[in-house]
Amino acid sequence: MNRLQPIYDIVEICAKQGLTQAVLCPGSRCAPLTLAFARHPDTTTRTISDERSAAFIAVGIAQQCNRPTILVCTSGSATYNFAPAVAEAYYQQVPLIVFTADRPKEWIDQWDGQTIRQSEIFGGHVKKSFDLPADYEHTDRAWYINRVVNEAINLSQEFPKGPVHINVPLREPLYPLKGEEISFSKSIRVIQRGETIPSLLSEEKESLLKSLKSFTKILIVAGQQAYNNELIRTVEKFSRAHHVTVVGDIISNFHSMKSAIRFADSILGNGSNSVKESLKPDLVITFGKSVISKNLKLFLRTYKPAEHWHIQPSGIVPDTFQSLTRIIYTNPNVFFESLVTEKLTDFATQKKENYTKLWEAEEHRIELSHQTYFKNPSFSELAILKGVIDSLPLRCNLHLSNSMAVRYANMIGLAAQQKGVHVFANRGTSGIDGCTSTAVGNALVSDVPTILITGDMAFFYDRNAFWHNYKMPNLHIVLVNNQGGAIFGMIDGPSNLPESEEYFVTQQKLTAKKLTEEFEIDYILLDTLKKIKNSLQDFFNFEGKIKILEVKSDQATAKDGFDNFKTTIKKGYNG
């Protein structure tokens, strides 16, 4: 047997388990894994030099493929550079299999090059960590490696999905000896996992229906999740049958549901206490992950419902609104489908309808304010992004970076007819560090247009997203460059501090022009009102190359546009 055969066979296990996308980072200690993945006929490999960017690219690939992506790096600090993306994947429930090459255990803390304490390095931000043996002479070692890799792959895909870490100590020589070939064993054991969807027992269904009849103000909150047309249709039927209001911000991908409340953040951020009191729910039903809106979270923490039910197949449930009373362990689609057939016609129906009409009236108020604000063209970030969002292709993947980009998009919203726009955002940890790289990963494996809306801080922080040799003809980027972290001039707290300009806003003078030249990217500059129409037309013309539309703004313009938008919304409430 080849001395490294158990390591080479890791790749065969991955391939047989359907894991065919691998992101490899250059290094020597990881050579056995790198060569095995690169030479396997069923694996698509890409090499990315910056480990931090590579890991976020893997997140984007996994999001799009809905399968775990493989990540490989060498030993030492390279491993630590995976950490931000691993944490994002953990909280966003994206499956990754993270292989980190390592020195044998006896060389840890012995001043050997590129050697750090890698065992369980990602702490609680992975579903599980494994350490493989460094020697394979005994057959039990090969059996152990096979079992661990199978377990890791299966675990990464169990709800909640997430990253799993496999630390791989490797002894020299790391490269094939003269005459030594890399091959894969023909008979490899694969441990298959079955899919199980917990159903509602008849007793639980009866209990839930009885409870539903006792509430007159029911609010469904859809958290961040992938676009799911079947779930949207089922929730819509449930909503009609039980006269229930559904709130879903832009990352919930519920914009195609016509009756969904898209502007809860504006409603709850501007409505009076009496308005909020009228919108207070008796029962909140949640599914999915986080919501963007701080106003929604504060509203539900202040105007607490009598009960809060959360639906998910398994796992720990956060108590985001400080009111959790019931965890329903099933698939959301199963829950709503099981209860949608029971149409309520009791005396409380009118009260239920009144509650939904209150939300609809507030939604309509915000829509009228939008019409007022956007009817007169102005060179503001919000107005330009409104034009971008309204012009999106009927089918595309829309990536939204943190911090202001995702908030702007949520304020503008997507229309029901834009159901082909699928929204992605790194709202697991909500950092700016890998927003571009995640969009790049998506674009590498998707045939549909990928549109990234980002700000200058997130964009330049992640410029190594372009530092590779792979074409992404469908990736187009809108860069709103206001020369710093303008959000800190808009939110309460830092905007009033004398240190704000230097330590929070962090002004910078870069533009994307030089970067586009360096990486041979098409560049469009939008710096005046009269250029908007032609610039957007050019931007949305897909010609087989990456394009960057740089919107040249400044912090004063950004703040004025944001303040004017809020003032317009306020006027809608004050007469």
Q: What is the pLDDT along the chain (575 residues), one digit of tens a residue?
A: 688 999 999 999 999 999 999 999 999 999 999 999 999 999 999 999 999 999 999 999 999 999 999 999 999 999 999 999 999 999 999 999 999 999 999 999 999 989 999 999 999 999 999 999 999 989 999 999 999 999 999 999 999 999 999 999 999 999 998 888 899 999 999 999 888 778 888 899 999 999 998 999 999 999 999 999 999 999 999 999 999 999 999 999 999 999 999 999 999 999 999 999 999 999 999 999 999 999 999 999 999 999 999 999 999 999 999 999 999 999 999 999 999 865 555 666 888 889 999 999 999 999 999 999 999 878 899 999 999 999 999 999 999 999 899 999 999 999 999 999 999 999 999 999 999 999 999 999 999 999 999 999 999 999 999 999 999 999 999 999 998 766 655 566 666 666 666 666 677 789 999 999 999 999 999 998 889 999 999 999 999 999 999 999 888 888 888 999 999 999 988 76
Would you call 317 exposed, middle or buried from its count of C-beta atoms within 10 A (0-12, 13-18, 19+)? middle
The span from the CA of 391 to the CA of 399, in Å, is 15
Name which of 20, 51, 19, 47 is nearest 35 in CA terms.
Answer: 47
pLDDT of residue 558: 85
CA angle 514, 466, 551 (to 5 degrees): 50
**376-574: same fold as 202-363?**
yes
DSSP string, 498-517: TTIIIIII------SHHHHH
**Is the bond preceding 403 in cis, omega lying within 30 degrees of 0?**
yes
Sheet containing 522-526, strands listed edge to edge, beginning at the edge strand earlier in sequence: 421-425, 396-400, 450-455, 475-481, 547-552, 522-526
Angle, alpha carbons 66-428-286 (nearest 5°): 85
Q: May I ask the CATH class of domain 202-363? A: alpha beta
**β-strands 163-169, 96-102 pairing:** parallel
Q: 76: which residues sit within 8 A by CB, 6+ positions away?
A: 113, 114, 115, 116
Within 8 A by CB and 6+ apart from 168, the residues are: 7, 30, 33, 99, 100, 101, 102, 132
CATH of 5-169, one of 3.30.200.20, 3.30.1340.30, 3.40.50.11270, 3.40.50.970: 3.40.50.970
At residue 285, φ and ψ (nearest 5 deg) are -115, 125
CB contact at 8 A, 419 and 444: no
Asked if 35 contacts 11 with a C-beta cutoff of 8 angstroms, the reply is no
Closest residue by Cα to residue 112 from 74, 76, 73, 72: 76
Whole-angstrom distance, CA of residue 55 vs CA of residue 310: 31
Rounded to whole angstroms, how far apart are CA atoms 444 and 279? Answer: 44
Burial profile 520-558: b = 16 or more Cβ within 10 angstroms, e = fewer: ebbbbbbeeeeebeebbeebbeeeeebbbbbbbbebebb
Residue 201: CB atoms within 10 A of its CB come to: 10
**Residue 223 near residue 288, CB atoms below 8 Å:** yes
Q: What is the 3-state secondary structure (H, E, C) of 290-305?
A: CCCCHHHHHHHHHCCC
| Rounded Cα–Cα distance for residues 354 and 68 (Å) | 45
CATH class, range 376-574: alpha beta
**pLDDT computed for residue 372 by the predictor:** 94
Residue ranges per structural domain of the chain = 5-169, 202-363, 376-574
* Environment class of 2 (CB within 10 Å of its CB; exposed 0-12, middle 13-18, buried 19+): middle
**Of 572, 573, 574, 518, nearest in space to 548 by CA:** 518
**What is the gyration radius of the CA atoms in the chain, in angstroms?**
26
pTM: 0.95
Q: Can you tell me which residue has the tokens 């791989």? A: 168
What pLDDT, on the 0 to 100 scale, is given for residue 2? Answer: 85
